[in-house]
Amino acid sequence: MAIILLIELYLTKGKTLIQENDRVVLVGVLALLLITVGSYLNFSYQTVREIAAEQPNNSYYENALTIKNLIPAAELDSVLGYSVPAGWFLKAEITPCYKYFTMQEWWGRYDPQVLIDTNKHLENDPPKWIVLNNDPQQNQTLYAVLAMKYELIAKDTVVSLYQLKNE
């Protein structure tokens, strides 16, 4: 903003800007510019260094693959993740089978229709597999459907895997 004001001041006063009392403004704006650029470069350097130093979470990756390996390859197109981060699907190399495939509880706070649609899907067209985040969920319909139609196959530190019971 200061640079824009400085440009306008230069356009209105012309070369007299440098010769009159406005030198203080000019020096001030240039000092602010240098401080801002220096701060930005320092922040950028620290951010890049932190990203480069981060180690991938190998246990998360291994757990995702362990859960995936319990699902037959022919049924990988019928896996619903409930409140599972989208990154879990990337790590497990599974393409979600439903448009609301991740973070339904969070979405449901802002758009209740997400939970309504998800519950209808679970009741009317249940997927063969459900990967459920181990954190407690608010959606009681989900737990009712799991109790009636699914059995727990495996559980790790992040998710639980449920399989549709043979009816």
**DSSP 8-class letter at 74:** G
In angstroms, the CA 2 to CA 44 distance is 22
CB 3 within 8 A of CB 35: no
Task: Give the count of alpha carbons within 13 A of 155, CB side only.
Answer: 5
For residue 88, give every residue at least 6 positions away whose Cβ sits within 8 Å of its Cβ, in sequence order, or none: 60, 64, 81, 131, 158, 159
For 38-56, the pLDDT digits (tens) are 888 888 888 877 776 766 6
**DSSP 8-class letter at 22:** T
pLDDT of amino acid 27: 77
Backbone φ, ψ for residue 24 (5° rounding): -65, -40
Tokens of 140: 């009681």
For 95-149, the pLDDT digits (tens) are 888 888 888 999 999 999 999 999 999 999 999 999 999 999 999 999 999 999 9
Own/partner pairs for 53-57, CB < 8 Å, 24+ apart? Answer: none
Indicate the pTM of the whole model: 0.65
In angstroms, the CA 128 to CA 142 distance is 14
